[in-house]
Amino acid sequence: MTPTIGRDFVEMLVLPALGGLGAVIIAPNCPGRGWTDPVSEGAVLKLVAAARKKYVIDERRVAVTGFSMGAIGAYRLAARHPELFTAAIPVSGMPSSTDLASLRDVPLFVIHSDGDEVFPIDQARPAFETLRRDHPDVTIEIVPGLSHYRTADFVPALKKASLWLKKKWKNP
């Protein structure tokens, strides 16, 4: 695992898109085998708890986001910990079937590209159709033609998610 991937993710995608929220942003490196690994999930939960102790955080305005493997983790955390997150913004990843069945209580803004080589749209589409059918509050933004590996080029879509988030949080 690249030791600076969390910082890189923040600098190339999160800050340009979500920096205007004035939020506390946590971007850990994955300590386990993926963000669905219990070690990783536990580490994120401890980190969120520590941030809540250190900073003044409005618990009605806590979102989880991630790119690729981080998107899979965002789905997982939203599915398993709806009491902690009031929104989830997975970018370029797919939920597991277990998480897909549990994603009902957290509003979702899903960002994906129809040019994604890692999670091809044809493989992602059934999950997105299930979300549209079963999830009471989901927005799915399909970015045309963008390679999975063009992380920074997802900024405009994530900026749309920022506007969506502001509306969600206007009257929590």
Nearest to 89 by CA among 112, 60, 110, 59: 110
* pLDDT tens string 115-138: 999 999 999 999 999 999 999 899
Q: Cα(24)–Cα(13) distance, rounded to whole angstroms?
A: 15
pLDDT of 18 higher than 90: no
CATH topology of domain 5-20+58-170: Rossmann fold (3.40.50)
pLDDT bucket at 145, cuts 50 / 70 / 90: very high
The two three-digit tokens of residue 138, written as one number: 């989901």
* pLDDT tens string 80-93: 999 999 999 999 99
pTM: 0.92
Q: Which long-range contacts (CB under 8 A, 24 or more apart) does 9-14 make?
A: 9/66, 9/67, 9/70, 9/151, 12/151, 12/152, 13/67, 13/91, 13/151, 13/152, 13/154, 13/155, 13/158, 14/65, 14/158
Report whether 78 contacts 88 (CB < 8 A).
yes
The two three-digit tokens of residue 68, written as one number: 């690729």
pLDDT of 6 higher than 80: no
pLDDT of 7 higher than 80: no
